[in-house]
């Protein structure tokens, strides 16, 4: 049952490959793909098939997916405007390859989300449905790492800055989302499922600031900004303009509850409580 993982050169994809191996899938049954395959040479050394797959290259995708039985489509990154077309090419190539299951990493409440990111996921989900290929939707919530990776900056500024108001966020670690992906790719009975994935405990950004205060002994506040001001802050901090807009818009969605889920789906799929915010902060601070 060869399983293709797209985005294996990235963080979630690599973790999914590791989780598949952990679950006993033989290296010979895993095809790891990405654009910059030099980043996964070590996986080839471990017996995994490594192939180049660029979502913009239809012919290359057909070659990359040849012989595959199941496929994980990890959503592409920027530019956001090219995302849906990229995803459609991947889905088309998966159909041509005759895969029996496509798992897609979507976002929480993609069917109703009002964000720019949400719209790209909704269109991809609709295309998957229209193509009629058996699929499973992994509606991943926000990554805990989106916050833990900002710890140095947060501690320097003495503040978490955002535009999410008191919206609750059900974040989880990339590793836990990867494990859930490995479960649906390697077990039976998930075709047609829609999983809303996130941590068991949600938090607001004020609660994030309080958790960082508790973990570090520093006084960290939450500063809530209007969405346009937050985008400006992100751009001034050096983010490309498009990414700054998209991230500020994601906070707007958080304020509306679009990143919150109490489904328990992640816990259920991985068979244990997902990593909590406090655990993630502790791990990041002692790294
Ligand atoms: N839930 C969240 O909080 C959150 C946050 C950020 C992003 N995301 C989404 O989740 C995805 C995975 O997260 P991550 O942390 O693993 O991101 P990442 O480390 O940036 O990895 C992204 C992967 O997607 C591949 N990719 C991007 N565009 C591609 C294209 N046009 N053709 C082929 N491959 C392409 C990259 O391949 P190469 O490096 O080889 O080009 C890379 O392997 C992201 O791409 C984004 O859509 C979610």
- pLDDT of 34-80, one tens digit each? 999 999 999 999 999 999 999 999 999 999 999 999 999 999 987 89
Prediction pTM value: 0.98
Between CA 175 and CA 179 the distance in angstroms is 6
The superfamily in CATH containing domain 3-140+173-198+262-274 is NAD(P)-binding Rossmann-like Domain (3.40.50.720)
Cβ distance 55 to 26 under 8 Å?
no
Atom number in ligand 1 closest to CA 34: 40
pLDDT tens string 175-185: 999 999 999 99
Atom number in ligand 1 closest to CA 13: 16
**pLDDT value of position 78:** 73
Between CA 8 and CA 31 the distance in angstroms is 9
Dist. CA 213 → ligand 1 center (Å) = 31
**pLDDT value of position 238:** 96
Between CA 244 and CA 249 the distance in angstroms is 8
CA 131 distance to own-chain centroid: 23
Task: Check residue 163 and report its DSSP letter.
Answer: S
**Domain extent listing, the chain:** 3-140+173-198+262-274
Dist. CA 280 → ligand 1 center (Å) = 21
Inform me whether the pLDDT recorded for 271 exceeds 90.
yes
Helix (H) or strand (E) holding 178: helix 174-186
pLDDT tens string 169-224: 999 999 999 999 999 999 999 999 999 999 999 999 999 999 999 999 999 999 99
Atom number in ligand 1 closest to CA 56: 31
Ligand 1 test: best mutation among 8, 10, 147, 149, most atoms within 8 Å of CB?
10
Atom number in ligand 1 closest to CA 143: 3
Q: What is the DSSP string of 243-272?
A: HHHHHHHHHHHHHTTTT-----HHHHHHTS
Dist. CA 217 → ligand 1 center (Å) = 34
Cβ distance 33 to 50 under 8 Å?
yes
Dist. CA 200 → ligand 1 center (Å) = 24
Query: Span 250-268, mean pLDDT?
Result: 98
Q: Which residues line ligand 1 (CB under 6 A)?
A: 7, 9-13, 34-36, 53-56, 74-77, 86, 105, 140, 142-143, 146, 174
Dist. CA 74 → ligand 1 center (Å) = 7
Share of residues in the chain with pLDDT > 70 (%):
100
Inform me whether the pLDDT recorded for 276 exceeds 80.
yes
Between CA 74 and CA 208 the distance in angstroms is 27
**pLDDT value of position 7:** 98
Q: Whose CA is nearest to atom 1 of ligand 1?
A: 142
Ligand 1 test: best mutation among 6, 53, 74, 175, most atoms within 8 Å of CB?
74
Between CA 51 and CA 136 the distance in angstroms is 23
**pLDDT value of position 287:** 81
**pLDDT value of position 1:** 80
Dist. CA 260 → ligand 1 center (Å) = 22
pLDDT tens string 92-149: 999 999 999 999 999 999 999 999 999 999 999 999 999 999 999 999 999 999 999 9
């Amino acid at each position: 049952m060869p399983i293709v993982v797209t985005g294996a050169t990235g963080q979630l994809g690599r973790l999914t490959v590791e989780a598949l191996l952990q679950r006993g899938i033989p290296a010979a049954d895993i095809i790891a793909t990405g654009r910059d395959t030099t980043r996964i040479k070590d996986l080839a050394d471990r017996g995994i098939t490594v192939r180049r797959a660029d979502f913009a290259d239809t012919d290359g995708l057909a070659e990359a997916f040849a012989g595959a039985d199941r496929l994980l489509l990890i959503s592409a990154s920027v530019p956001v405007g090219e995302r849906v077309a990229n995803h459609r090419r991947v889905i088309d190539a998966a159909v041509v390859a005759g895969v029996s299951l496509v798992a897609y990493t979507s976002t929480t409440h993609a069917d109703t989300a009002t964000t720019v990111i949400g719209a790209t996921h909704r269109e991809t989900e609709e295309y998957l449905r229209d193509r009629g290929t058996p699929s499973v939707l992994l509606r991943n919530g926000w990554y805990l790492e989106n916050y833990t990776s900002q710890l140095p900056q947060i501690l320097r500024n003495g503040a978490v800055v955002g535009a999410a108001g008191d919206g609750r966020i059900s974040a989880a670690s990339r590793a836990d989302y990867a494990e859930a992906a490995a479960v649906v790719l390697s077990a039976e009975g998930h075709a047609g499922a829609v999983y809303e994935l996130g941590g068991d405990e949600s938090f607001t950004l004020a609660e994030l600031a309080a958790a960082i205060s508790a973990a570090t002994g520093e006084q960290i506040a939450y500063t809530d900004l209007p969405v346009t001001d937050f985008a400006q802050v992100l751009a001034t901090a050096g983010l490309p303009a498009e990414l700054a807009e998209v991230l500020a818009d994601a906070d707007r969605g958080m304020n509306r509850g679009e990143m919150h889920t109490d489904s328990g789906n992640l816990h259920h799929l991985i068979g244990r409580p997902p990593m909590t915010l406090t655990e993630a902060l502790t791990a990041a601070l002692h790294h």
